[in-house]
Amino acid sequence: MSAVRLFGLVLRRLAVASWNVILWTARAWRAVLVCLVIGNVLFIADLEAAGVIAIAVIPASSVVRAVWDAVSPLTYEAMLGAPLRRRGWRHRVRKEWKDVARRCGLIWPWADDRRRSLPRLLRVSTSGNTLTLRVRAAVGQTVDDLTGTIEAIATAFEAESAESRRVAPGVVELDLTMCELLHEPTTPRMPYELETEAVTVGRRADGSAWRLQLAGRHTLVVGRSGAGKGSVFWGVAGNLAPSANAGLVRLWGIDLKGGVELSVGEAMFSSVAIDEQAALGLLNDLHRVIVERQAAMRGRSREFTPSPGDPAHVLLIDELAVLTGYASRDVVNQGTALLKRILTQGRALGVMVVAFVQDPRKETVGMRELFTQTIALRVASASETRMVLGDGYGDLAPAHRIDRTMPGAGYVVRNDGVVERVRADFWSDELIRSVADRYPAAREARFADHGAAPGELLRLPVPELTVFPAAGRRDPRTPRDPEDPEAA
């Protein structure tokens, strides 16, 4: 670092520290007045040293805090800054709740009992950057009345975003995100754990890890071009790569955009299809796995547990609509029939599907209701949000309002109905290649061909198909620029 830059950095920190001393002292003006009174009393009593200490205690504590923040901001934030800030949030809510509720339209002036004319604030708690309010509806109100004003309440308390959930009859918890932690993109580390049931693909709004459940689920990820579907795609594939290398998982991939996406990390996959006919053959082989596993488990077990000789199967489909809506009529009919059978039969047998699409309409994704888990990245409108997450989530999970500069950000609805704001980690091409080189698919899992004639199980008259094995490497594509939000 040059001397000029170092000098500028020191000046900037001194300026910030000086401003903090003034700001924190001014905010404690009541304590300053009390100390002044006490100090003057001590002066009158000829206790000059004690008087000086009493008068200077507040400014001196502000100076200590400012110096600590300037020298070691990480330790200051963890030990003092964050606890004080959370205490301030709680104090403000308790002090202003009645006025905020009244201004947000939650007062019921015709109630017989004035004490019950406003929603009751049962509890206020904080965790990380989240402020949680537990509220009981007033007489004559419903849970929908409370959740309908969540945006107004969040604005009143200067929250970045808000989520709500019903926890008891007439009781709602409002989670207000006070500091946005998802603006800055993050990159994952090299995976090393053997995971088959869930993978960490990013982080939630409170900074905790976002674990995407895979076992027993079929997942549909919807997002416009540049919304960050690739981040979720490689978050799943990359984190499953160690298990694929160990033979616990077999990855199947369909990329009908010419293989541009999958070619970067193709070695992780046991089988890859990059054209329509190859995709039909791959789906047919995966359905054959289901039929064989049904026969093996029938009368023995209802729960599948992956093992090196009997792996879980995960099918990742990049741009599902090409297969189910935009291909030729024969391919659409056959592909839809095969995929519906896989979605309805494979979940309990260790066969999971993770599909990605831009257009969630029924015309393009006719089996949308067969996906048991949906993720909404940035979409075009509130109606698309409702298509993806369900009726009633247009306001609770406004995926259509996600900023373009936040690829990989989206909303997930948990099984208990709680809405979570999440953002997937950005996977660079270099990291994808490194993971593929380190964890190629287990050799015994690779396919030389597909054995039986494609279409045999469904008796569909399709021509001879070719599925491209993942052993070869295609020419690498141009690496994505991490600074370009449209690249994720």
Please give the annotated binding residues for ATP, written as ranges: 223-230
- What is the C-alpha to C-alpha distance for residues 257 and 277, in angstroms, rounded to an integer? 13
What burial letters (b/e) apply to 56-75, b meaning 16+ CB within 10 Å? eebbeebbebbebbbeeeee
Q: Which of 160, 221, 222, 486 is nearest to 380 (CA)?
A: 222
Tokens of 464: 């001879």
Vertex 359: Cα angle to 259 and 377 (nearest 5):
85
- What is the C-alpha to C-alpha distance for residues 248 and 238, in angstroms, rounded to an integer? 14
In the chain, the amino acid numbered 436 is: A
CB 223 within 8 A of CB 377: yes
CB 277 within 8 A of CB 340: no
Tokens of 449: 């061909």
Whether the CA torsion 105, 108, 113, 119 is positive or negative: it is negative
- What is the C-alpha to C-alpha distance for residues 343 and 327, in angstroms, rounded to an integer? 20
Residue 436 pairs with which residues in a beta bridge?
none
Tokens of 10: 């020191």
Vertex 452: Cα angle to 243 and 470 (nearest 5):
35
CB 411 within 8 A of CB 400: no
- What is the C-alpha to C-alpha distance for residues 210 and 200, in angstroms, rounded to an integer? 6
Please provide residue 254's backbone torsions phi and psi, each rounded to the nearest 5 degrees. Answer: -125, 120
Whether the CA torsion 370, 372, 378, 383 is positive or negative: it is positive
**Cα–Cα separations (whole angstroms), residue 66 to 73, 84, 85:** 10, 14, 15
Q: Which of 223, 220, 198 is nearest to 355 (CA)?
A: 220
Contacts of 351 (CB under 8 A, 6+ apart): 286, 289, 290, 293, 312, 313, 315, 342, 345
Show binding-site residues: 223-230
- What is the C-alpha to C-alpha distance for residues 131 and 159, in angstroms, rounded to an integer? 9
Tokens of 99: 């006025």
